[in-house]
Amino acid sequence: MSPQIDTHGAQAVLAPPGTADLVAASPSAMNDLVQQLREMSLRGLSRMYSQRDRLFVFRLRRTPGGIVQEGLSPRYTAITLIGLAALPEKTVGTVLGGDSRHDVCARILEDAASSNSLGDVALSLFAAGLVGHENLDPAVTRLAALQPLEGAHPVVEVAWLLTALSEVPSANREHLRDHVAERLMSTFHPGSKLFPHTMGRAGGARSHVSCFADLIYPIQALAKYAAATGSQRALDIASACATRLCDLQGAGGQWWWHYDYRSGRVIEEYPVYAIHQDAMGPMGLRALVEAGGPDFSHHIHRGLMWLGAAPELNGGSLIDKQADLVWRKVCRREPRKAVRYLQATASRIHPAGRIPAVDFIFPARRIDFEDRPYHLGWLLYAWSGWTGRLSSMSPERSQ
């Protein structure tokens, strides 16, 4: 089959260099895969750091001329610091070219002091707290100005804030933490067991559409909050959402992309992102079990199996040993996200409405040849404290 050209100008193939040989229905194979991914993440991050700017780049992208750096991202830098926070200083120094976590943290706190993004400020506070930076005031002051308890905010960003406030304890912020938790829990739909994309905003044509991030970050945040405070309500809501999300997991272990906030159904499956399979999914579900919630290790296992050998790629993988990177996603061959918008419109008219034959007309066979530092940062954070064994990882286990 002739290779197709993806929207970023790089070649998309059905079966890139993968790790299908590593994937077997056994805990040891999954543990080996996690270890590989952790090691690749450290090497990848060292290629994504700009020492001149004390920031991580927005992405690495494969082009006909080779793999290139593009942009800079304070947000991705904060997430990467979160992932690096628990690692030995020597390891971190290798990634940062001799700079320290403190140096990079000071840089993102400078940006946080004037940022208009609640999410960026929350992540900067989270990173600074984990790194042990002595001055959190710029982020805390900016939080107050952004009014997280009022107005419209993305659910993801409010969830980041709750995780930060739960993981970085401070007596003078407990009041804010509790009110943020209450606001996040108030958006939970008891029927669908899902969270919306945005809180505090009137409905629009796509207001019923939630994405995977809108679900897994609140699961993580409420689990962290329950662990910090003993809130049974928070744990119950996080557990209910996780149960629904795992019930909807694809037969091949895929974490699907778009969901109907009203009905709890999948609206559109693709893209399937590598970060969901090896980082965000495990991060949220592991936080839940650590807080005393249900154990979804089997679903983590299935997600990792997909990353190692994706059926959409005829058993190929987004893990590219030759490039020493994990490519971003498997997506449809479609013009400008057409299927997502069509499915959102059809489901808006009726919850069961879908555009037929999209898998045949727009098959999910394209690879997005880029890798972003936040993927690798969340991966390191998701598996921090990991000792080489994933409890309850037998594929026979079911919920």
| 260 phi/psi in degrees, rounded to 5 | -95, 110
pLDDT at 197 over 60: yes
Distance, CA of 282 to CA of 137 (rounded, Å): 31
Distance, CA of 181 to CA of 216 (rounded, Å): 15
pLDDT at 6 over 50: no
pLDDT at 133 over 70: yes
pLDDT score, position 205: 52
pLDDT tens digit sequence for 268-314: 899 999 999 999 999 999 999 999 999 999 999 999 999 999 999 99
Percent of the chain whose pLDDT exceeds 90 = 71
Q: How confident is the model at residue 31 (pLDDT cuts 50, 70, 90)?
A: confident
Mean pLDDT to the nearest integer, 135-140: 87
pLDDT score, position 67: 96
pLDDT score, position 14: 36
pLDDT at 332 over 90: no
Distance, CA of 330 to CA of 74 (rounded, Å): 26
- Of the ranges 137-146, 183-192, 276-285, 352-361, which one carries the lowest mean pLDDT score? 352-361
What average pLDDT is seen over the chain? 86
pLDDT at 17 over 70: no
pLDDT at 398 over 70: no
pLDDT score, position 391: 46
> Which three-class secondary structure state does DSSP give residue 217?
helix
pLDDT tens digit sequence for 153-162: 999 999 999 9
pLDDT at 77 over 90: yes
Mean pLDDT to the nearest integer, 18-34: 64
Residue type, 384: S
End-to-end CA distance of the chain: 40
Percent of the chain whose pLDDT exceeds 70 = 81
pLDDT score, position 245: 98
State which of 45-54, 170-179, 195-204, 324-333 shows the largest mean pLDDT.
Answer: 45-54
Distance, CA of 182 to CA of 169 (rounded, Å): 18
Residue of higher predicted confidence among 267 and 360:
267
pLDDT at 340 over 90: no
Q: How confident is the model at residue 331 (pLDDT cuts 50, 70, 90)?
A: confident
pLDDT at 134 over 50: yes
- Of the ranges 325-334, 360-369, 372-381, which one carries the lowest mean pLDDT score? 360-369
pLDDT at 346 over 70: no
Q: Are 155 and 187 in contact (CB under 8 A)?
A: yes
pLDDT score, position 353: 60
Distance, CA of 109 to CA of 121 (rounded, Å): 8
Q: How confident is the model at residue 387 (pLDDT cuts 50, 70, 90)?
A: low
pLDDT tens digit sequence for 38-61: 999 999 999 999 999 999 999 999
Mean pLDDT to the nearest integer, 143-163: 95
Mean pLDDT to the nearest integer, 188-205: 86
Element of type H or E holding 386: none
Edge-to-edge strand order for the sheet containing 59-63? 66-70, 59-63, 370-371
Distance, CA of 81 to CA of 290 (rounded, Å): 22
Q: How confident is the model at residue 333 (pLDDT cuts 50, 70, 90)?
A: confident
- Of the ranges 290-294, 375-379, 392-396, which one carries the lowest mean pLDDT score? 392-396
